Amino acid sequence: MHRHTVMTMKRIIISAVAMAAFSASAKAFTLSLPEDIRYSVKLGYNIGGTAPLGIPATIRKMNRYKMQSNYSLAFDMQKQIKGRWGAMTGIKLENKGMEVDATVKNYHMSMVKGSSRLTGYYTGNTVIKAEEWALTLPIQATYTPAKNVLVRLGPYVSYVTSRKFDGYVYSGYLRENTPTGAKILMGDSESEGATFDFSDDMRHWQFGIDAGVDWYVYKRWGIYADLSWGFTNIFKKGFDTIEQKLYPIYGTVGVTYNLK
Amino acid sequence: MKLHKLFLLATVCCTLSACFKDEPANAECDIEKAWIHAENPQDMFYNLSDTLVNVLYTDNLITFDVKPQTDLTAIAPIFQVTPGATVSPASGSVQDFSHGPVTYKVKSEDGQWEREYYVYFNIVTRTETDTIRYDFEDFTINERHYYAWNHTLSRWDTGNGGYAMTGMATKYDPDQGKYVTDSMAFPTIPYADGYDGYAVKLTTQNTGAFGAMMNMRIAAGNLFIGAFDVSMAVTDAMKATRFGEPFDRTPSKFRGYYQYEPGEQYQDENGSTIADKTDQGDIYAVFYRNHNEANETIVLNGDDVKTSPYIVAIAQVTNIVPTNQWTEFEADFVFSEDIDQTLLNNRGYSLAIVFSSSVDGAYFKGAIGSTLLIDKVELICTDIQ
């Protein structure tokens, strides 16, 4: 009941914000002449991770980090409002993915499947693959410190269309319930170990803050960089398999082209 | 721009790698191995290998099998514990075991966890009786909430410990507001309406989502003389079933009573239904040499329990038919080599009796619901020569 209400409220807020943003830009489009608005397309690449804020002591080591197909394709509309200040919105199709191999020690986990539950402490290696293809709507304030530079900051909302969070454990062991419980060894490879898939436990809506800078270096061409910091746990409420809340924190670098 | 990149890099690095904290102290507190250092081990032990006990992580009773006349008043067991853990009384300290088990407490390095172990010296005398009876009347629920059977002569075990890992027997109870384990939801449980008192009920069960995750979709009900090593259940399930215990008599046959009902749908290891295939129960006993040529201990497991070159005799029950009446079964031990009496007297042979509700349950093939009831098992030995 409660959760449903919260969800509904969130949906209303999102819709309102989205509508406001779109109508504002639409209004700008019809009322002002096109030279007021700067349209640009951006193609970039996301680098980062979906990680807890502050690594707990139970996560010991990162053995491997593998780049994923983290492309970001964006269409932006920016308008100067007053002096050097302006506003920007747009739409972005992007992937925030990662594949990490980490070593953990005595990491508490609890898995629920249907009405069954498995809980315990895991020591050893784990491989996690995450993929979050999302449609993102940023709303940003812009500042122009120099003619060809645009600094941006503002919130974003993402709808994650394709969710994946899976992996396996290897070269380790689980202690059932407590560190004194039954010890179960995990094999040394993916086929001998246990696999997991928490994709269905991921949420669709994500919020966060994005800060970025566009730098037009040659005519209509420029380069840009962004840092987007997710404020919402990638998993749904009540999901406690993984002790910490995981937030997508990704940086983007790429090229931007000013359409006019 | 440069500053921005630096900021980005710093954030990513800090989040992903640079912020690793100091390694936490160990939370585990197990005795992994226990051994006795004796000047003349042959005075105390039947076999040199009996001086060392590899302790299963689910066990808290450490038993040393010793010869009669052993002086139990001053023995100093040595322990290998989890790194950082401390044991009290200390490893290597002299204790008096003549009044029964001595309790040892192991504390974890982080001081948060503690386990209690009981070290016991079991004086093994020659098995005098020619007929050994297993009535399965003596059972308890252990600390992991499943049934375990006790017998004065033989250690019986089940795969229940592996099933506990699937979480299938543990459900959320809204009345109590917590997760509760139902001891009767396991594949091997007592059955009140036995041939005579209690019987044992073995049922092939679905292992649910967790079982499927580990590619082990069913768990056959099983019961056997030996030990179940839960630690191996995921990596190499065949190795988890450690069949047999040392036995100093020559078995000639075993018999008992059963009922069998195969489950409706036979499935293979991938969970696919195999039409026209009916599940079968399995009842057998093996007798084997428990040391190899290098004098290392041999324990048969799921891989070689019927094929090992160390097997000297097998008694396989062949005609288990679906029946809801108590039906007698019997099988003779068929020997492939002669018994070495000296080896027999020194506990150089092991015996395993095995029951399973699905004959290929070890390969995760069978029918969910297949049920084997077992009661009043007797092992008949040939006269002492």
Domains held by chain B: number: 2
Q: How many CB pairs under 8 A join A and B?
A: 133
Contact between B15 and A51 using a beta-carbon 8 Å cutoff? yes
Q: Residue B231 and residue A117: Cβ atoms within 8 Å?
A: no
User: Chain B residues with CB inside 8 Å of A225's CB?
Assistant: 1, 4-5, 8
- Cβ pair A249:B15 closer than 8 A: yes
N residues, chain A: 260
Contact A194 B171 (CB under 8 A): no
Residue B99 shares a structural domain with residue B3: yes
- Give me the domain span that covers residue B103: 1-125
Rounded to 10 degrees, the C-alpha dihedral B282/B283/B289/B293 comes to 0
Would you kindly state where each structural domain of chain A is located, as residue ranges? 35-258
Q: What is the mean pLDDT of residues A41-45?
A: 96
B175 and B251 in a single domain? The answer is yes
Residues of A within 8 A of B163 (CB-CB) are none
- Structure tokens given for B166: 């699937």
Q: Six-digit token pair at A108?
A: 């508490």
Q: Which of B96, B125, B154 lies at the terminal end of a domain, its last residue? A: B125
**Is there a single domain that holds both residue B302 and residue B176?**
yes
Lowest mean pLDDT among B176-180, B288-292, B322-326: B176-180
Q: Does A172 contact chain B (CB < 8 Å)? A: no
Asked if B27 and A227 come within 8 Å (Cβ–Cβ), the reply is no
- Partner B contacted by A32 (CB < 8 A): no
Count CB-CB contacts under 10 A for residue B315: 21
pLDDT of residue B253: 97
CA distances from B75 to B70, B92, B105, B293 (A): 10, 9, 17, 30
Average pLDDT (B354-361) is 97
Kindly write down the DSSP assignment for every residue of A43-97, as one continuous string: EEEEEEEEE-SS--TTEEEEEEEE----EEEEEEEEEEEETTEEEEEEEEEEE--
Claim to verify: residue B374 and residue B252 sit in the same structural domain: yes
User: Is B113 in CB contact (< 8 Å) with chain A?
Assistant: yes
For B170, nearest residue in chain A (alpha carbons)? A116
CATH of the domain at B375: 2.60.120.890
**Where residue A35 falls among pLDDT bands split at 50, 70, 90?**
low
Query: Considering chain B, what is the average pLDDT of its residues?
Result: 92
Write the DSSP symbol of residue B273: B
CA dist A170 and A189 (Å) reads 6
Flag if A117 and B172 touch (Cβ within 8 Å).
Answer: yes
DSSP A215-244: EEEETTEEEEEEEEEE-S-SBPTT--SBSS
pLDDT tens, B118-167? 999 999 998 989 999 999 999 999 988 999 999 988 899 999 999 998 88
CATH number of the domain bearing residue B75: 2.60.40.2340
Task: Determine contact: B16 vs chain A, CB below 8 A.
Answer: yes
Tell whether A186 is within 8 A of chain B (Cβ). yes
Let me know whether B208 and B323 are in one domain. yes
Q: Pick the last residue of a domain from B76, B97, B125.
A: B125
- Evaluate if residue A32 carries a pLDDT over 90: no
pLDDT tens digit string along B247-283?
Answer: 999 999 999 999 999 999 999 999 999 999 999 999 9
Query: CA B230: distance to chain centroid?
Result: 8
Q: Which value does ipTM take for this structure?
A: 0.85
Before B89, cis peptide (omega within 30)? yes
Task: Tell me, yes or no, whether B235 and B185 share the same domain.
Answer: yes
- CB contact B174 to A (< 8 Å): no
| Gyration radius of chain B's alpha carbons | 24
| Contact (CB<8Å) B166/A116 | yes
Tell me the C-alpha distance between B306 and A221, whole Å.
Answer: 75
A176 CB within 8 Å of a chain B CB:
yes
Mean pLDDT in residue range B31-52: 94
Residue-wise pLDDT for A84-103, tens only, equals 999 999 999 999 999 999 99
Distance between CA B139 and CA B146 in Å, rounded?
10
Smallest Cα distance from A157 to chain B, Å: 21
Q: Quick one: B361 and B280 in the same domain?
A: yes
* B87 shares a domain with B49: yes
CA angle B293, B299, B302 (to 5 degrees): 130
Distance in angstroms (rounded) separating the CA atoms of residues B355 and B353: 7
The yes-or-no verdict on residue B5 having pLDDT over 90 is no
- Predicted pLDDT of residue B329: 98
Q: Do A113 and B30 touch (CB under 8 A)?
A: no
Asked if residues B164 and B144 have their Cβ atoms less than 8 Å apart, the reply is yes
Q: Is B13 on the interface with A (CB under 8 A)?
A: no
* Cβ-defined contact of B168 to A116 (cutoff 8 Å): yes
Q: How confident is the model at residue A10 (pLDDT cuts 50, 70, 90)?
A: low
Average pLDDT over residues B343-363: 96
Cβ of B19 under 8 Å from any chain A Cβ?
A: yes
Higher pLDDT, A199 or B332: B332
Same domain, B171 and B286: yes
Do B193 and B315 sit in the same domain of this protein? yes
Write down which residue in B90, B125, B160 finishes a domain. B125
Mean pLDDT of B94-114: 96
Q: Do B291 and B234 sit in the same domain of this protein?
A: yes
B106 shares a domain with B133: no
